[in-house]
Chain A
Amino acid sequence: MELADTTLRPTTQALALSRWQRTSRILLRNRSAMVGLFILAILTFVAIFARQLATHDPEKPLIGLEENVKKRADPCIHALGCPQDQPEHYFGTDGNVRDVFSRILFGARLSLIIGFTTVSFAILIGTLIGLVSGYLGGWVDNVLMRVMDVLLAFPSLMLAIAIVTVLGPGLINALLAIGIVSIPTYARVARASVLVNKEMDFVSASRALGASDPFILLRHILPNSLTPLIVQGTLGIATAILEAAALSFLGLGAQHPTPEWGLMVGQEYKNVFNAPHLTFFPGLALMLTVLSFNLLGDGLRDALDPRLARTRTG
């Protein structure tokens, strides 16, 4: 924490506020982070208004319901020259004659939900573990951290695959698996933050005033741990979406006919040579989504990094 000038040190609350303001100003100046934020905004819009924006039902085969509709049709946009007698599908149709554009839109909703739920789950449990572990120290710390070590000893996708094998394939199980696999990261972050903060003066002051341990944890330590958790969480959403897509690609995550992007690639990648659009549209969607979270997370990390902040007083 930097030393302020001669004015009285503000309370934790007020300091956090002005820090946020300062952070957001730095963030706004970071061009790549802004790109990420922009993409994310579009994504969120699409996810919320998927039903209104979509041209067809994402899960219903259109055989017999549309004139001339073909399986794995190329993208056809009438405004761009596609003949009028062919049904309009912006991104074409997939192997089951479903509209790809609508599936991509609904997939955005799914991906955002996947990202947020897994990371929320992991942060919740991980932070709990990390807070308890770091604050109590001793035995508890040892045991909990060893368990985290073992989880980290496996490559994350492998462990997720192993967990899904035990639980059975399905989107919920895949999310649970990814959540479990992500817990150690947040536990470590939370614990590190606790270790730094628990020796601080304001904590001892609080304790001297008679505050109980849980109160200290929640009221003083947790807020200060939030920033690294948020940074890690943003980047974690990116990883979670990728892992969910990977599990669905392998057939272990979302099941037919859910319009999950990874599943869409998994079903059509064999046709990448004669119908490349069916692989690349969901692939592009995945890439853009994950990119936005990565850029945003990087930007947040740069903006919230105390060392760099030192050189940016203002």
Chain B
Amino acid sequence: MLQYITRRLLTSLPVLLGILFITFSLARLLPGDPCRAALGERATDEVCDAFIRREGLDRPIPVQFAIYLGDVLRGDLGDSFRQGRSAVEILIERLPTTIELALLAMIFATLVGVPAGIVSAYWRNSAIDVGTMIAANIGVSTPVFVLGLLLEYTFAIIFKDTPLWLPPSGRLTSGVQLPSLAQSLNLQNLSGFSAGFLDFISRLYVFNSLVTGNWKVLWDALRHLVLPSMAVGTIPLAIIARMTRSSILDVLGLDYIRTARAKGLKMRAVVFQHALRNALLPVVTIIGLSLGGLLSGAVLTETVFNLPGVGRTLFEAITARDYTVVQAFTLVIALIYVLVNLVVDVLYAFLDPRIRLS
């Protein structure tokens, strides 16, 4: 097992290096003057010369890359020109929103997708099967932003003044505030990494309110997340449903199932007790792969629902030509993606001995 993990880690390292190189190239390839992009249009030539010298932009590329690597490893991802503060600070602020969105979307997709796949497989080829699969396909075919708008329109306008009403935007209702964990847990004297980490966790409103028992805020935060999660979650939902269905069908065709049935087990027992466990393994991999789709979908959903998350910030940084933020955020997103896939692979290996022994 350990061997498998080390092997996987080693194969990830080159990929990480490649990602770093791509994000590094990104900033260098962007059109326009890097100095004016970082310091603004008003920067004079003298200021820019000093800037170029200080940032080492006149050194050869491999040297620049080495410097960049060093910075990243030290946790210095640069400063945002537009906002006048470090990219890491902005990241700590915005990443929790996207993480909450992605997690809830994943939960939604799994909770709805797996049963849908099971139902489809169970009543194979019936109207239910066809209907579910078409619905799943519609889910994956509708652009996320259109779906988000549909949901917003339905729940904020059509269901206005009904108990089904859901807020159309934002993370919390106006005026509702959640004290940071540093305040609630009286840990105000931390600094550096621990303070940043605590701040980061505090911004996971669902987690924060859960941990501090702030039920009102928890309810508010969850309500605000329902529509965006549903919008983003439809993509993995369709894939999960399809995957579950075909996976179960595959397993159902196998010998040991025939044996179980021959032994007299009812179909339902067969499905739940034997088929499911093995069928769900590929689904685990799908979860990891879907994350990419979730993160991409997040950009669009965050725009429609006015959520200040990583996706929208990245997009705003691009339009504002805030290249440091673009570089930093792209890097972090890619890193998260690689990390999650790594975890999923390990999990899969853990669950399926055949993989780790190969």
User: A residues bordering B, Cβ < 8 Å?
Assistant: 31-32, 146-147, 149-150, 153-158, 161-162, 165-166, 168, 238, 242, 245-246, 249-252, 262, 265-266, 269, 272-273, 276, 279-280, 282-283, 286-288, 290-291, 294-295, 298
Contacts and interface: CB of A to CB of B under 8 A. Distances in A.
Contacts of A291: 137-138, 141
Contacts of A280: 146, 150
A300 B194 CA distance: 53
Contacts of B337: 153-155
Interface in B11-63: 14-15, 18-19, 21-22, 26, 29-31
B81 interface: no
B299 A287 contact: no
B326 A155 contact: no
A312 to B, nearest CB: 13
Nearest to A245: B143
Interface stretch (B219-227, B288-296, B348-356): B288-296
B48 to A, nearest CB: 21
Given A272-B149, A291-B137, 19 more contacts: A32-B130, A32-B134, A149-B14, A150-B21, A153-B19, A153-B337, A154-B330, A155-B291, A155-B292, A157-B297, A158-B330, A161-B318, A166-B26, A246-B296, A249-B300, A252-B318, A265-B143, A272-B153, A279-B146
Contacts of A147: 18
Contact of B30 (A155, A165, A298): A165
Q: Taking chain B's interface residues, is the majority helix, strand, or loop, or is none over half, making it mixed? A: helix
B144 interface: yes
30 contacts: A32-B130, A32-B133, A32-B137, A146-B15, A150-B19, A150-B21, A150-B22, A153-B18, A153-B334, A153-B338, A154-B334, A154-B337, A155-B296, A158-B334, A166-B31, A242-B141, A242-B143, A246-B143, A246-B296, A249-B300, A251-B319, A272-B149, A272-B153, A280-B150, A283-B142, A286-B143, A286-B146, A287-B142, A290-B142, A291-B141
Interface residues of B, number: 48
B93 interface: no
A238 B141 CA distance: 8
Contact of B296 (A156, A238, A295): A156
Nearest to A276: B153
A149 B146 contact: no
Contacts of B152: 272
A149 B153 contact: no
A188 B277 CA distance: 29
